């Protein structure tokens, strides 16, 4: 059990590192949102599961945190993506933009 | 049924936060206290919620846990390796775009689950839901029509979710 | 040993996020990075529960998660309304 827990903890740490690195190195806002959200969500899952395997009596509490993160993190990133689109428009290299006619045209200021 | 659903959610949250600590006697005390607190909160909150359960709910829960969660976790792991590949060799993505896909799912929870799944799968990010349309940012636009995009992005989740939230 | 490795990895992730938070050319970049940073902080608080063998830190992490979610929504609203006309 301890081995499983420690492996999961290291995996979680690695994905948090990947999230930070992704936010640092991706080229535009939407790619940063994608990298940050995916990597930190899986990192949080792995790390919390590792803690749960180490102390099995905490498993329900850990499960509640996992469910909350699984629901709230993608919603937050969707809200941020929509807000970024409204604030600075699409990046210059898009090939198709269906969102423009829905949200209305904003001039490219970003 | 709305009252039952609210009560179950509140009671399960309470018991989960209490955790598995202590003896059987202590657990019974927490159970009684949690029931009382959940009952009081149910009568206050039940007018503001809009979800309900029926007799098929356990079946749906089983399908959700054993059919949907593995597909979802596998897609999440693939997405993370995709992110790792693009982070370690950063190049400007070839043809990003914002596409619109249609969904046949009914109900807020089904759409929320579908949008969250799209966000956590490789290369896509759901931005907004408007009626039956979901707007998605994707790093690689493959298809021309909404149907092709739907086949690439959301078809496998929709099949499962259509079974669960029906 | 395991503590040093995991805390080091998570700390490096936070460091990269903070670099982007300081560099970020637009407000949207900074808000996005703050969201990522918040999730990493939730993981860090849970790691404190692991290290000190005290499950109260998990409650702290849950409350922090709720507050971070609200903070993300509020910043999103602020960013939407910032350009005025909509």
Q: Which positions in chain A touch B51 (Cβ < 8 Å)?
A: none
Task: Dig out the tokens for C76 from the structure.
Answer: 């999103």
Distance CA A77, CA C34 (A): 11
Q: What total of structural domains would you count in chain A?
A: 1
pLDDT band of A48, cuts 50, 70, 90: very high
The chain A residue lying nearest B120, using CA atoms, is A38
Query: What is residue A17's predicted lDDT score, i.e. its pLDDT?
Result: 92
pLDDT mean across residues, chain C? 88
Q: Which domain holds residue A83?
A: 2-89+98-103
**Confidence at B4, pLDDT banded by 50, 70, 90:** confident
> For residue B17, what is the nearest residue in chain C, using CA coordinates?
C59
ipTM score assigned to the predicted complex: 0.87
Is A6 a domain residue? yes
Contact of B78 with chain A, judged by CB distance below 8 Å, is answered with no
**Rounded Cα–Cα distance for residues A55 and A1 (Å):** 10
Q: Is 60 exceeded by the pLDDT of residue B51?
A: yes
Residue A39 covered by a domain:
yes
How many angstroms separate the Cα of A7 from the Cα of each of A16, B161, C39? Answer: 14, 32, 20
The reported pLDDT for the residue numbered B92 is 60
| pLDDT tier for residue A110 given thresholds of 50, 70 and 90 | very low
Residue A75, domain member (yes or no) = yes
Residue A110 lies in a domain: no
User: CA-to-CA distance for B12 and B4, rounded, in angstroms?
Assistant: 12
Tell me if chain C has a CB within 8 Å of the CB of B19.
yes
| Nearest residue on chain A to B111, alpha-carbon basis | A75
pLDDT at A109 (0 to 100): 44
What share of chain B has pLDDT > 90, as a percent?
4
Q: What is the pLDDT of residues A63-75, one digit of tens each?
A: 899 999 999 999 9
- pLDDT value at C84 more than 60: no
Burial of B161 by CB count in 10 Å (0-12 exposed, 13-18 middle, 19+ buried)?
buried
Provide the number of CB pairs (under 8 Å) joining chain A to chain C. Answer: 173
CA distances from A103 to B73, B101, B135, C40 (A): 32, 16, 11, 32
């Amino acid at each position: 059990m301890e081995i499983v827990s420690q492996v999961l903890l290291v995996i979680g740490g690695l994905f948090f590192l990947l999230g930070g690195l992704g936010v640092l190195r991706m080229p535009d806002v939407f790619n940063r949102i994608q990298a940050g959200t995916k990597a930190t969500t899986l990192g949080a899952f792995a790390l919390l599961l590792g803690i749960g395997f180490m102390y099995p009596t905490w498993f329900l509490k850990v499960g509640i945190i996992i469910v909350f993160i699984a629901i709230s993190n993608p919603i937050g990133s969707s809200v941020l993506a929509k807000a970024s689109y409204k604030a600075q428009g699409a990046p210059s290299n898009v090939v198709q933009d269906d969102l423009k006619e829905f949200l209305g045209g904003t001039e490219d200021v970003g | 049924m709305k009252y039952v659903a609210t009560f179950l959610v509140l009671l399960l949250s309470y018991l989960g936060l209490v955790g598995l600590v202590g003896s059987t006697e202590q657990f019974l005390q927490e159970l009684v206290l949690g029931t009382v607190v959940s009952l009081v909160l149910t009568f206050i909150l039940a007018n503001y919620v809009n979800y309900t359960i029926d007799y098929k709910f356990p079946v749906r829960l089983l399908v959700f846990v054993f059919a949907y969660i593995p597909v979802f976790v596998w897609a999440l792991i693939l997405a993370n390796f995709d992110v790792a590949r693009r982070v370690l060799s950063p190049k400007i993505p070839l043809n990003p775009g914002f596409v619109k896909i249609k969904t046949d799912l009914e109900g807020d929870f089904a759409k929320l689950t579908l949008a969250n799944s799209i966000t956590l799968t490789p290369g896509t990010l759901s931005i907004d839901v408007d009626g039956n349309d979901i707007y998605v940012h994707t790093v690689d636009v493959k298809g021309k029509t909404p149907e092709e995009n739907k086949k690439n992005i959301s078809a496998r989740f929709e099949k499962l979710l259509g079974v669960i939230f029906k | 040993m395991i503590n040093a490795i995991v805390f080091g990895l998570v700390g490096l992730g936070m460091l990269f996020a903070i670099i982007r938070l300081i560099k970020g050319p637009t407000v949207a970049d900074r808000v996005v990075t703050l969201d990522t940073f918040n999730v990493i902080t939730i993981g860090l608080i849970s790691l404190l529960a692991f290290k000190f063998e005290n499950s109260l830190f998990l409650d702290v992490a849950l409350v922090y998660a709720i507050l971070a979610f609200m903070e993300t929504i509020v910043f999103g609203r602020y960013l939407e309304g910032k350009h005025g006309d909509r």
